[in-house]
Structure 1
Amino acid sequence: MKSWIGALSYVAGGSFAYALNSKFTFSGHKSLAEIRKAAISYFLCFSVAVLVDLISRGVCTGSYFLLVSWVVSQGAATVINFLLQNVWVFPSEASS
């Protein structure tokens, strides 16, 4: 049950982030193609975060392994999300 709540909160947060990014940061068009790209981007980032967290938990030891694995997984997902949003979901007019 706890993992479903985490996934639902990620979907809610991703939807909110897309709406704000589309309106204020990237001046998106909110087309169906853009929404699909954003959904795929957030799904990939969520998958990367979970995978990196699992790998980090296997590698990290000591009393802070949960914190370290969480920070590493969130950092990886954040970098990938930034790159996908900048290059693929909301490409600049110059690169279009």
Structure 2
Amino acid sequence: MDAALDIPTPAGGDLKTQIVRFVITGAASGVLDLGLTLLFQHVLGFPEWAAKSIGFVCGTTMAYLINRRWTFKADPSMARFVAVALLYLVTFVVQVGIYTVLSRTWDDTVVWSMVAYVIAQGTATVINFVVQRMVIFKIR
């Protein structure tokens, strides 16, 4: 049990350990996501939604693989994979939607793209952690 939240602690350890690992993994995956998004949007000229989609898919795939093995220490599971796919579909819509709306609202510059990215990513990250910890990595 996690005394602070009075909920069962998953196999990956206590809440503090999981949050630290989740943040480290998220930061690394976020660098990949943001780098690819900016590359495709501002260097290669892709529309913002397409650039963000490419960044999201690559960053999210990396994050899932690391979080499953390191953060939550979960064995492979088809049920878990399906649950993650559904969660990532939701966070994809949330993240790309927020990024696209903000990108079209503000000037099309790298700075404003980064601000839009941080807001979209932050929203998706909170949703992601809560659902993964409370639901997905408790699936056997």
1:32 Cα offset (Å):
0.2
Q: Number of paired residues?
A: 92
Following TM superposition, by how much is the alpha carbon of 1:91 offset from its aligned partner in structure 2, in angstroms? 2.9
Partner residue in 2 for 1:84: 131
Residue 60 of structure 2: which of 14, 18, 43 is its match? 14
Contact 2:53/2:96, CA 8 A, preserved across alignment:
no
Segments of structure 1 that go 5 or more residues without pairing to the other structure are none
Contact 1:56 1:72 in 2 (8 A): no
CA–CA separation in structure 2 for the residues paired with 1:73 and 1:6 = 10
Give RMSD over aligned pairs: 3.0
Say which SS state the counterpart of residue 70 (structure 2) adopts.
helix
Q: 1:52 to 1:10 in 2, by over 3 A?
A: closer
The residue aligned with 2:82 is 36
Displacement of 1:8 in angstroms is: 4.1
1:73 and 2:116 matched = no
Query: 1:41-85 CA deviation, whole Å, 9 max, x = no partner?
Result: 122111101111233345557x75433322211111111111121
